[in-house]
Amino acid sequence: MAPVAEHATVRYTDRAGLAAALDGAEVLFAYDFLSDALPDAWHAARSLEWIHVAAAGVDALMFPALRDSDVVVTNSRGVFDGAIAEYVLAQILSFAKDIPESLRLQDGHIWKHRESERIAGRSALVVGTGPIGRAVARLLGAVGMRVRGSGRRPRHDDPDFGIVTATSDLPAALADADFVVVAAPLTEQTRYLFDARLFAAMKPGARFVNVGRGELVRTDDLVEALRSGTLAGAALDVLDIEPLPDDHPLWDMPNVVITPHNSGDVVGWRDALVDVFADNFARRLAGEPLRNVVDKKLGYVPGA
C-alpha cells in the first residue's frame, strides 16, 4: 500500500469501525470481499466515489443502495484465473486417476491394482465464459479435452470454447459432458442455477467441479444426485454455507473433495490483490480510466 499512502490518507478498519472510517473517504478498498458490513455503514459514505473489491466476484458486496448510486465498483479480475484453472485440471485428473482412493489404500497399507481413466478426448462443459472460465477452457483444451462453454449468449466461433451454448439450453449441453465445471458469477439469474432438474439432465457418471460461488448450487439437490449415483463425484471449492458444518453429509462422501474456498489462493496472492488496487489508484490519480469496472446491474465486468 506504500504507493497509495504517498498520495492519500489511508485508514485501516474492521467492520466495527467502518462507518467512522468512511466519513470523508473517496475510495474504499474492500479487502474482506465476503464482508456484509457496508450496508449498515452506507449512511457515512457521503463522499465515496469508488469501491475496489479484492476478488473477482462482487456479489457479497452488492446491495440496492450501492447499485443505484453513482459509486464506481471495480474488481480484481485476472489475479486468480490461472491458479483456478490449474485447480480444476488437478481435480479432473484426481477423479480420472482416482487419487483419493489411492490415498485411502495407502493409509491402510493395501496394495490393490486398479485401472484409471484418460482425460484426453473426454468432454468438459464450462459454465461461465468470463476470464476464469476461459483460463479453464484453454488449459483443459491443452491436455486434449473437448471443451465447450455455456454463457448468456450463444456463439459458434469463440476463440477459447469454440461453441458456447446459451444458459437456456444448458440441460441439453449437460447431457454430453463428462465433466461440468462451474465458474459463473453469482447474480439473481444464476442463484441456485444447479438444482435437481439440471443434475438429472447430466450425463450418467459425470463429475461436477464448482469454483464459482456456493449459492450457484442447491446443496441438498447435489447431495441427492451424489447419493443416487446421478453424479459420480464432485469437487467443491465453494459452498453456500462456509465453513461447511461438521455434521454435513458432504464431508463423509467418498466421491467428494472439499477445499476451503482457496482454489485461487497461491503463494503471493495477497500481494497481487493489493497490486491491482494500487495500479488502479495510480490510474485514478493520472485521470485515466479504471480497469475492471463492474456493471452493477449485471454484477460483473461486461465483455470480460
Choice among 11, 146, 155, 261 that is catalytic: 261
Catalytic residue flag (residue 101)? no
261 in active site:
yes
Rounded to 5°, the CA angle 208-60-222 comes to 25
SS3 293: strand
* Selected catalytic residue, list 43, 46, 67, 242: 242
How far is residue 170's CA from residue 211's CA, in Å, rounded to a whole number?
Answer: 18
Q: Which of 213, 215, 218, 284 is catalytic?
A: 213
Checking phi first, is residue 267 left (phi over 0); if not, alpha (psi -120 to 50) or beta?
beta
On whether the CB atoms of residues 79 and 269 are closer than 8 A, the answer is yes
d(CA 35, CA 38): 8
242 belongs to the catalytic site: yes
Rg of the chain over all Cα atoms, to the nearest angstrom: 21
- Ordered DSSP codes for 66-120: HHTSS-EEE--TTSSHHHHHHHHHHHHHHHHHTHHHHHHHHHTT----------T
* Residues forming the active site: 213, 242, 261
